[in-house]
Amino acid sequence: MKIYFRKTFEYNPHHSGLPKYESYEAVTRQLYSPGIVDFDSKERFDLQTFCSSLKRCQETARIISSGEITVLDELREVKFSLHNLVSQEEFEQRGSSLVRERFIQSFINDTLLEKRENIRKRIYKVIKLIGRGDNDKLVVSHSFTMKMFEACLQKNLNIFRDSDLISEVIFVQTETYPFGGGFVVRI
């Protein structure tokens, strides 16, 4: 069976007139769930679909899937605080590459808002769920959560036992996935 993983379509993180940095903080803490703003996609799936409970993933799933959609909290983004990773000045100067660098270090040190053990439990809960049956499936989620699935399913890395391995799937200078992009695995 094939599992198609796709990242949410593009969204605008700006919220209620907050500056960009503060708006991203609200999104990374999951205090604000923006809708999508761009959904130019040629991909369409008629598959059983699983998506994050955050608004942008549900909207993405409804656009690209005509199959039954199951909404799962376990597919939400890994919860972290932008403020804990980078200062506003650092964010303005180095942006996402520094966020990825610090995310990797925080994952290794287990200092994200969400503990590695909790991330592991929800990733393996979803793997068990999507592994049922022989039919292909679609999963719509978020960048860092998808990287966890990529590590476990595509690269067979036990990032939860050997957290340093996370640097084999998240690269500081490379975007995780483009909006609407992703990967496919056979299980």
CA distances from 12 to 17, 56, 92, 136, 179 (A): 12, 10, 17, 31, 12
Q: CA 88, CA 32: separation in Å to the nearest integer? A: 19
Nearest CA to 103 out of 5, 171, 52, 6 is that of 171
pLDDT value at residue 16: 72
182: phi then psi, degrees, rounded to nearest 5: 170, -145
15 has pLDDT over 90: no
For the domain 2-186, what is the CATH code? 3.40.50.1240
Label the pairing between strands 137-141 and 2-7.
Answer: parallel
- Which sign, positive or negative, has the C-alpha torsion 173, 166, 144, 99? negative
pLDDT of residue 41: 79
CA 186 to chain centre: 19
What are the extents of the domains in the chain?
A: 2-186
pLDDT tens per residue across span 71-115: 999 999 999 999 999 999 999 999 999 999 999 999 999 999 999
Q: What is the pLDDT of residues 123-168, one digit of tens each?
A: 999 999 999 999 999 999 999 999 999 999 999 999 999 999 999 9
Tokens 């999951």 found at: 30
pLDDT value at residue 56: 96
- pTM of this prediction? 0.95
